[in-house]
């Protein structure tokens, strides 16, 4: 549920159309984009990095909250300006904005040639070719599609990192969330398909796989009542992938069995993304999170008792309707306890079609903004304390890039989410390679990143 930065792709094969592809939003949307790129490339189209001068621009959008709708619309408008200036021929809008607003986009974004919902991302080639032929394209339906290991895919991450989407959609229906209407009900990929994809990614040089879904802990509940995530992790460990990271869990579904399996498999990095959203029982109930504040604290205690070195990422929402000063103080004092290592802080946004948007006692954006700032400042203080505690500690990191210094991540730092380690390199020393592991000693850090040096 995080918003990603704009991504653009370098040139690829000889083909009939020059297509510029921009993707926004979360890693789940990124995987759809990677499949669409694979399909366009396989169809022989040429992928270019800039919409300026391209034949077709595809904008894969996000729309889970108002701010994301605004950002997506702005990017589409920039492409439409190029089209109006004769520097781009066609504009196709894909992803969650299309799924949410459909045909309306032809009016709200005049000049758009094609609207392709999340439901039809696998029909992107037809959409682009029909738009090029001058047709107005509208491909929209119930979101039931999900890719598998046979889908062509061009990675948008560095070649040693990949996201693997194990399921799509969500049945949790939290009261503030639009995603179930955008992505449909929860549907898992077959375990064999996920494992086959992991084997292919490893063969292609990937060393870190990030497992994603709207709720990874719901994996397999549409196949076997109790869910199948622990079994899937055991099967993935047999692929020999060095790092497997679990993102987007739901605290109400994290079981003893899952914690035990994570503890027993070295390849599963001691890291869990555990969005709690809040800690006040009243707010959690209003959100429809099916867990209490006390149970969340207990869960984190259990996780840490089994895996003491576990890094916990979470996300919280402030300004939810009815959130009193007392509710917020409860959240603030919980965060101050330092049980969470990395935190995403969101300000509540009333989204049309959600239950929460109809609730009384909506909170002003000023109040929500102030609460968010307070939480972030507490997290920054805790991050500096953690960097001090880690100073002098030796650890194995994954190198992501090497220039004057090397940029790497600890097992407790997810790609583009939790900061990095800046490793100073002495001129005479052997330089680590991107995608390789290195042993370092932490030398310090800030509220965002750590610093380190290679351990001789
Ligand atoms: S778990 Fe809740 S917040 Fe997350 S995608 Fe599902 S409904 Fe939305």
Ligand 1 center–CA 273 separation, angstroms: 14
Ligand 1 center–CA 242 separation, angstroms: 29
Q: Among 174, 291, 349, name the best residue to mutate to test ligand 1's pocket (greatest count of ligand atoms within 8 A of Cβ).
A: 174
- Average pLDDT value over all residues in the chain: 95
Residues 116 and 28 sit within 8 Å (Cβ to Cβ): no
**Is residue 83 scored above 80 in pLDDT?**
yes
pLDDT value of residue 92: 98
Q: Give percent of the chain with pLDDT exceeding 90.
A: 94
pLDDT value of residue 14: 54
Cα(326)–Cα(434) distance, integer angstroms: 47
pLDDT value of residue 25: 97
CATH of the domain spanning 4-139, picked from 3.20.20.70, 3.40.50.12160, 3.30.160.270, 3.30.450.70: 3.40.50.12160
**23-44 pLDDT per residue, tens:** 999 999 999 999 999 999 999 9
Cα(135)–Cα(237) distance, integer angstroms: 48
Ligand 1, residue 250: give the atom nearest the CA: 1
Establish whether residue 274 lines the binding site of ligand 1, counting it when its CB lies within 6 angstroms of any ligand atom.
Answer: no
Q: What is the mean pLDDT of residues 310-336?
A: 98
**184-220 pLDDT per residue, tens:** 999 999 999 999 999 999 999 999 999 999 999 999 9
How far from each other are the two terminal CA atoms of the chain, in whole angstroms? 40
Q: Which helix (H) or strand (E) holds 209?
A: strand 208-212
In the block, which residue shows the tokens 């690829």? 12
pLDDT value of residue 264: 98
pLDDT band at 10 (very low <50, low <70, confident <90, very high): very low
Ligand 1 center–CA 185 separation, angstroms: 11
Question: Comparing 74 with 1, which gets the higher pLDDT?
Answer: 74
Q: What is the mean pLDDT of residues 61-85?
A: 97
Ligand 1 center–CA 355 separation, angstroms: 13
Establish whether residue 26 lines the binding site of ligand 1, counting it when its CB lies within 6 angstroms of any ligand atom.
Answer: no
Q: Among 214, 278, 314, 320, name the best residue to mutate to test ligand 1's pocket (greatest count of ligand atoms within 8 A of Cβ).
A: 214
Helices in 204-245 by DSSP H: which ranges? 229-237
pLDDT value of residue 20: 98
Ligand 1 center–CA 297 separation, angstroms: 20
**Is residue 63 scored above 50 in pLDDT?**
yes
Q: What is the mean pLDDT of residues 91-115?
A: 98
pLDDT value of residue 2: 43
Tokens read off for 96: 């969650």
Q: What is the mean pLDDT of residues 51-76?
A: 97
Ligand 1 center–CA 106 separation, angstroms: 29
Tokens read off for 149: 């290991």
Cα(15)–Cα(220) distance, integer angstroms: 40
pLDDT value of residue 30: 98
Residue among 329, 315, 308, 260 nearest 412 (CA): 308
Residue 114 makes CB contacts below 8 A (sequence gap 6+) with 90, 91, 92, 93, 127, 128, 130, 131, 136, 137, 138, 139
pTM: 0.94
Cα(356)–Cα(236) distance, integer angstroms: 38
Ligand 1 center–CA 250 separation, angstroms: 8
Residue among 309, 342, 445 nearest 387 (CA): 445
Ligand 1, residue 178: give the atom nearest the CA: 8
pLDDT value of residue 456: 66
Ligand 1 center–CA 216 separation, angstroms: 11
- All structural domains of the chain with their residue ranges: 4-139, 161-389, 391-454
Ligand 1 center–CA 215 separation, angstroms: 7
**Is residue 9 scored above 80 in pLDDT?**
no
Ligand 1, residue 183: give the atom nearest the CA: 5
Establish whether residue 179 lines the binding site of ligand 1, counting it when its CB lies within 6 angstroms of any ligand atom.
Answer: yes
pLDDT value of residue 428: 82
Ligand 1 center–CA 294 separation, angstroms: 21
Ligand 1, residue 177: give the atom nearest the CA: 8
Ligand 1 center–CA 354 separation, angstroms: 12
pLDDT band at 429 (very low <50, low <70, confident <90, very high): confident
pLDDT value of residue 226: 85
DSSP tag of 327? H
Cα(104)–Cα(82) distance, integer angstroms: 21
Establish whether residue 180 lines the binding site of ligand 1, counting it when its CB lies within 6 angstroms of any ligand atom.
Answer: yes
**296-312 pLDDT per residue, tens:** 999 999 999 999 999 99
Q: What is the mean pLDDT of residues 99-112?
A: 98
Q: Which helix (H) or strand (E) holds 48?
A: strand 46-48
Establish whether residue 215 lines the binding site of ligand 1, counting it when its CB lies within 6 angstroms of any ligand atom.
Answer: yes
Tokens read off for 412: 């407790």
| CATH tag, 391-454 | 2.40.50.140
Ligand 1, atom 4: closest residue by C-alpha: 214
pLDDT band at 104 (very low <50, low <70, confident <90, very high): very high
Q: What is the mean pLDDT of residues 34-61?
A: 97
Cβ neighbours, 10 Å, residue 226: 10
Ligand 1, atom 5: closest residue by C-alpha: 214
Cα(268)–Cα(411) distance, integer angstroms: 9
| CATH tag, 161-389 | 3.80.30.20
Establish whether residue 250 lines the binding site of ligand 1, counting it when its CB lies within 6 angstroms of any ligand atom.
Answer: yes
Ligand 1, residue 64: give the atom nearest the CA: 8
At residue 12, what are phi and psi to the nearest 5 degrees?
-135, -125
Residue among 31, 276, 259, 87 nearest 174 (CA): 276
Tokens read off for 36: 């669409």
**133-183 pLDDT per residue, tens:** 999 999 999 999 999 999 999 999 999 999 999 999 999 999 999 999 999
Cβ neighbours, 10 Å, residue 380: 13
Establish whether residue 443 lines the binding site of ligand 1, counting it when its CB lies within 6 angstroms of any ligand atom.
Answer: no
**213-255 pLDDT per residue, tens:** 999 999 999 998 889 999 999 999 999 999 999 999 999 999 9
**Is residue 426 scored above 70 in pLDDT?**
yes
Rg (alpha carbons) of the chain, rounded to whole number? 22
């Amino acid at each position: 549920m995080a918003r990603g930065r704009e991504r653009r792709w370098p040139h690829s094969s000889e083909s009939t159309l020059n297509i510029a592809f921009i993707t926004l939003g979360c890693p789940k949307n990124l995987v759809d984009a990677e499949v669409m790129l694979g399909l366009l490339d396989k169809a022989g189209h040429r992928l270019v990095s800039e919409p300026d001068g391209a034949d077709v621009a595809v904008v894969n959008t996000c729309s889970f909250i108002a701010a994301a709708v605004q950002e997506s619309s702005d990017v589409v408008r920039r492409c439409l300006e190029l089209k109006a200036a004769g520097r781009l021929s066609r504009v196709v809008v894909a992803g969650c904005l299309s799924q949410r607003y459909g045909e309306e986009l032809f009016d709200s974004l005049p000049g758009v040639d094609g609207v392709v919902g999340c439901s039809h991302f696998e029909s992107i080639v037809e959409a682009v070719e029909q738009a090029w032929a001058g047709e107005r394209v509208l491909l929209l339906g119930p979101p039931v599609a999900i890719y598998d290991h046979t889908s062509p895919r061009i990675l948008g991450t560095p070649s040693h990192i990949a996201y693997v989407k194990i399921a799509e959609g969500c049945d949790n229906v939290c009261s503030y969330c639009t995603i179930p209407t955008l992505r449909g009900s929860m549907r898992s990929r077959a375990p064999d398909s996920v494992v086959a994809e992991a084997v292919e990614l490893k063969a292609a040089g990937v060393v870190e796989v990030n497992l994603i879904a709207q709720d990874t802990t719901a994996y397999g509940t549409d196949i076997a009542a109790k869910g199948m995530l622990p079994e899937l992790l055991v099967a993935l460990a047999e692929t020999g992938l060095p790092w497997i990271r679990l993102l987007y869990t739901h605290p109400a579904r994290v079981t003893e069995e899952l914690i035990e399996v994570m503890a027993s498999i070295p390849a599963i990095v001691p890291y869990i993304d555990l969005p709690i959203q809040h800690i006040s029982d009243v707010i959690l109930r209003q959100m429809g999170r099916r867990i209490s504040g006390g149970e969340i604290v207990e869960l984190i205690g259990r996780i840490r008792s089994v895996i003491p070195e576990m890094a916990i990422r979470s996300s919280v929402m402030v300004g939810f309707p009815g959130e009193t000063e007392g509710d917020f103080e409860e959240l603030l004092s919980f965060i101050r306890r330092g049980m969470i290592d990395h935190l995403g802080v969101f300000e509540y946004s009333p989204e049309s079609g959600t239950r929460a948007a109809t609730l009384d006692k909506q909170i002003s954006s000023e109040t929500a903004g102030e609460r968010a700032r307070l939480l972030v400042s507490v997290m920054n203080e805790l991050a500096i304390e953690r960097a001090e505690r880690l100073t002098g500690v030796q650890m194995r990191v994954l190198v992501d890039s090497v220039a004057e210094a090397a940029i790497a991540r600890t097992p407790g730092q997810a790609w583009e989410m939790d900061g990095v380690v800046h490793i100073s390199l002495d001129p005479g020393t052997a330089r680590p390679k991107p995608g390789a592991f290195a042993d370092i000693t932490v030398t310090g850090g800030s509220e965002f990143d750590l610093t380190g040096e290679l351990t001789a």
